[in-house]
């Protein structure tokens, strides 16, 4: 019995030593916006969402991001103590896509992360028409108990030069009229075995439960893959809004998963310029921020937030995963809900890179390593062969990881030119 207690004590001591020798240094967090209104079926969508449609953040979407912010507070402030309870601008920087749903989601997330602070959007555009300092119409308006850095800036990328969040809207050069989305991707049919009979049966099942989606439509208009994909997107977007349960047949659910996966990944399974360009801006930023930590640069940051879209996370995942593994996951998604959800980022999804250091027993630095976390689950397998997970480290050795990211940055990325059509001065 005495030997048993000695072994237990030694094991606990070993765990403590490992914990002491591993230090979390920095976190980069890319989030997807919360639940939004659908773009399709505008009449119905307006009825459900107080007159609004076309991808506007809903109240449930706002709540999702507040809760995600609270979760992040618990993990990186209370548990791991990476950040202090009070916001420090020297420790963090927060970015958002210029889309309304991403801006509002980023704001809600930061309210969850730091609940006692005011979020101030910063539009990085000399001709921006937006002011962000309006206050209530109360004489001598003042907020009591002011503390230093009461406002937290959320930096919003220019809509007319958004190379990071929406590179597919940009051109390769000022002289080129070719759009990346059209010229840079190679499509591949993933599920050619979806029969016409299965398609009709699935659409009939949806029509039985939700006949109002088919009002004034002819059979030749809705018995198509395109219309099924439209309904699939609609149902995914209204699920967080409606209390009713969609009790579809197993075949219907399966066909919907297959068309959903094909929509997102048919152009991502074959290596192409578009795949690399879609993540080049993020990879460049990841290296930049982690290198500042490794080089002990004065401008280093402990926490970076990107408030973006599902396609941003999917683009990064596509570049990190081995293509055969990615195809395997796509095919598994036909039968497996978990495989489908791994590929298709639900609302309020979170992709995280953690940079750690590993020290020896004397406190001397041995290695920097990276952990990859998707929706709370660490990713260790299925990655490109040049990304090796070391169990002894508990992650991917940083220099090796950095080298791989550099190989995925397209050399033409700096030449991307985005249209400035949105840069219109409404004040004149």
66 occurs within a structural domain: yes
Residue 15 confidence (pLDDT): 47
Angle between helices 250-265 and 310-320 (to 10 degrees): 70
13 occurs within a structural domain: no
Same domain, 286 and 353: yes
Same domain, 93 and 219: no
Same domain, 223 and 275: no
Q: Which helix (H) or strand (E) holds 61?
A: helix 59-73
* Closest C-alpha to 368, from 79, 22, 18: 22
Same domain, 164 and 248: no
Range of the domain at 237: 196-265
Average pLDDT of the chain is 86
Query: What does the pLDDT look like over 208-218, one tens digit per residue?
Result: 988 888 888 89
312 occurs within a structural domain: yes
232 occurs within a structural domain: yes
Q: Which class for 160: exposed (0-12), middle (13-18), buried (19 or more C-beta within 10 A)?
A: middle
**Triad 333, 337, 342: Cα angle to 5°:** 70
Same domain, 103 and 154: yes
- The last residue of one of the domains, among 237, 265, 293, is 265
Across the range 268-279, mean pLDDT stands at 93
Query: What does the pLDDT look like over 333-389, one tens digit per residue?
Result: 999 999 999 999 999 999 999 999 987 655 666 799 999 999 999 999 999 999 999
Residue 169 confidence (pLDDT): 79
Q: How confident is the model at residue 138 (pLDDT cuts 50, 70, 90)?
A: confident
- The last residue of one of the domains, among 211, 233, 265, is 265
Q: How confident is the model at residue 231 (pLDDT cuts 50, 70, 90)?
A: confident
- The last residue of one of the domains, among 265, 283, 317, is 265
Same domain, 163 and 234: no
Same domain, 119 and 32: yes
Q: How confident is the model at residue 180 (pLDDT cuts 50, 70, 90)?
A: low
Q: Which helix (H) or strand (E) holds 371?
A: strand 365-374
Residue 345 confidence (pLDDT): 94
190 occurs within a structural domain: no
Same domain, 242 and 338: no
Same domain, 259 and 280: no
129 occurs within a structural domain: yes
Look at 245 and 232; give whichever has higher pLDDT: 232
Q: How confident is the model at residue 134 (pLDDT cuts 50, 70, 90)?
A: confident
Same domain, 161 and 287: yes
Distance CA 390, CA 400 (A): 11
294 occurs within a structural domain: yes
Same domain, 79 and 200: no
Q: Estimate to the nearest angstrom the gap between the alpha carbon of 181 and the chain centroid.
A: 19
Same domain, 121 and 98: yes
427 occurs within a structural domain: no
DSSP 382: S
Across the range 249-264, mean pLDDT stands at 93
Per-residue CA distances from 63 to 196, 282, 302 (Å): 40, 26, 25
Q: How many distinct structural domains can be found in the chain?
A: 2
Q: How confident is the model at residue 39 (pLDDT cuts 50, 70, 90)?
A: confident
Pairing of strands 365-374, 350-359: antiparallel
Residue 428 confidence (pLDDT): 43
pTM for this entry: 0.89
CATH code of residue 43: 3.40.50.1240
């Amino acid at each position: 019995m005495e030997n048993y207690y000695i072994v237990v004590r030694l094991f606990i001591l070993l765990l403590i030593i490992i914990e002491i020798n591993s230090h979390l240094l920095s976190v980069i967090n890319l989030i997807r916006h919360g639940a939004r209104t659908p773009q399709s079926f505008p009449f119905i969508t307006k009825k459900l969402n107080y007159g609004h449609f076309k991808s506007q953040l809903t109240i449930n979407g706002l709540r999702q991001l507040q809760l995600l912010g609270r979760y992040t507070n618990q993990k990186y402030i209370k548990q791991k103590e990476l950040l202090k309870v009070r916001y420090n601008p020297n420790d963090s920087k927060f970015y958002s896509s210029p889309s309304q749903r991403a801006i509002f989601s980023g704001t809600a997330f930061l309210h969850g992360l730091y609940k006692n602070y005011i979020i101030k959007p910063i539009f990085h555009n000399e001709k921006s028409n937006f002011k962000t300092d309006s206050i209530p119409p109360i004489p001598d308006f003042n907020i009591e108990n002011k503390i230093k850095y009461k406002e937290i800036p959320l930096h919003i990328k220019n809509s007319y030069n958004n190379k990071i969040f929406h590179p597919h809207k940009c051109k390769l050069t000022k002289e080129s009229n070719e759009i990346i989305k059209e010229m840079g991707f190679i499509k591949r049919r993933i599920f050619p075995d979806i029969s016409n009979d299965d398609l009709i049966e699935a659409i009939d099942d949806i029509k039985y439960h939700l006949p109002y989606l088919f009002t004034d439509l002819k059979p030749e208009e809705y018995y198509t893959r395109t219309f099924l994909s439209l309904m699939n997107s609609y149902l995914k977007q209204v699920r967080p809004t409606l209390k009713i349960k969609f009790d579809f047949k197993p075949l219907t659910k399966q066909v919907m998963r297959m068309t959903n996966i094909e929509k997102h990944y048919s152009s991502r399974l074959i290596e192409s310029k578009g795949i690399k360009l879609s993540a080049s801006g993020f990879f460049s930023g990841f290296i930049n921020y982690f290198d500042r930590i490794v080089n002990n640069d004065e401008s280093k940051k402990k926490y970076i937030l990107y408030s973006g879209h599902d396609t941003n996370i999917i683009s990064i995942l596509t570049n990190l995963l081995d293509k055969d593994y990615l195809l395997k996951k796509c095919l598994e998604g036909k039968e497996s809900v978990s495989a489908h959800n791994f590929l298709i980022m639900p609302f309020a999804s979170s992709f995280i890179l953690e940079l750690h250091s590993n020290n020896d027993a004397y406190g001397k630095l041995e290695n920097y390593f990276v952990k990859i976390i998707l929706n709370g689950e660490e990713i260790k397998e299925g990655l490109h062969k040049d990304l090796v997970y070391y169990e002894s480290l508990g992650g991917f050795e940083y220099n090796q990881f950095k080298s791989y990211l550099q190989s995925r940055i397209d050399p033409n990325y700096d030449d991307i030119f985005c249209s400035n059509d949105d840069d219109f001065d409404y004040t004149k």
